[in-house]
């Protein structure tokens, strides 16, 4: 929560349409190309980094870096680091909430193993 609270006020001024739950389970791929995006139940307007950081939270290193993506598509990068940290924290918070609400022990174990790295912190238990 602290990481989110300390960085969310740096969110991008420009809002874009975001999927809200972008990940491999919602992206259809054929012959190595995206052919569709499904499950738009979390759609909204916000910082494009929210969607991109979610992909990196769950599938690190599978895509070009967010800064390369921004340059390629003409997206804003002002206050990049705090926006990135806020996005990663938001995904961590929602994952912890889901794991505890559903008493998902395997996800809780995964969080114990990976959360420090995902947030770029040390000493988190």
Residue 80 located in a structural domain: yes
Residue 15 located in a structural domain: yes
Residue 9 located in a structural domain: yes
User: Strands 44-46 and 27-30, how do they pair?
Assistant: unpaired
pTM: 0.86
Query: Residue 23 pLDDT more than 90?
Result: no
pLDDT (tens digit per residue) in 97-121: 999 999 999 999 999 999 998 997 6
Give me the domain span that covers residue 95. Answer: 2-119
Which residues are CB-contacts of 43 (< 8 A; sequence separation ≥ 6)?
A: 17, 18, 19, 20
Residue 14 located in a structural domain: yes
Residue 124 located in a structural domain: no
Q: What is the mean pLDDT of the chain?
A: 91
Q: Work out the angle between the directed axes of helices 66-73 and 80-101 (0-180°, nearest 10).
A: 120
Residue 125 located in a structural domain: no
Split into its structural domains, the chain has a count of: 1
* CATH code of the domain in which 113 resides: 3.90.1200.10
């Amino acid at each position: 929560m602290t990481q989110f609270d300390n960085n969310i006020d740096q969110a991008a001024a420009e809002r874009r349409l975001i999927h809200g739950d972008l990940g491999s389970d919602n992206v259809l791929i054929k012959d190595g190309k995206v052919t569709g995006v499904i499950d738009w139940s979390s759609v909204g307007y916000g910082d494009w980094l929210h969607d991109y950081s979610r992909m990196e939270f769950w599938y690190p290193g599978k895509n070009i870096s967010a800064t390369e993506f921004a340059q390629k598509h003409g997206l804003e990068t002002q206050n990049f680091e705090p926006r990135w940290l806020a996005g990663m924290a938001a995904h961590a918070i929602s994952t912890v909430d889901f794991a505890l609400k559903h008493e998902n022990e395997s996800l809780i174990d995964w969080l114990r193993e990976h959360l420090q790295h995902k947030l770029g912190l040390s000493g988190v238990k």
